[in-house]
Copies of this chain bind each other. A is one copy, B any other.
Amino acid sequence: MKISARNVLQGTVKTVTHGAVNTEVTVELSGGTEIVAIITKRSAETLGLSSGGSVMCVIKASNVMIATE
């Protein structure tokens, strides 16, 4: 599958924290940057996410903001 989302970042799952309907996933990108995602618990289960797994973080460009100091 090729997707229109411009940002697809390779990484490794560090932590998976389940709530009742949502799950927080932290992913470490190569280089050490950490990305946090909130997805549904069902998706986390369907994808079989667990610490150490290889994943991609997918982010639509219109959801990225720019900030300066």
Looking at chain A, what size class is its interface with the partner chain?
35 or more
Chain B residue nearest to A32 (CB atoms) is B31
A30:B31 contact, CB within 8 angstroms = yes
Q: A: which residues have CB within 8 A of B?
A: 1-9, 17-25, 27, 29-33, 35-40, 42-44, 46-49, 53-69
A1-B1, A39-B64, A57-B67 are known; give 5 further A-B pairs, CB within 8 A: A3-B67, A4-B39, A22-B38, A38-B62, A59-B63
A56:B68 contact, CB within 8 angstroms = yes
A58:B69 contact, CB within 8 angstroms = no
Q: Which residues of B contact A20 (CB under 8 A)?
A: 17-20, 22
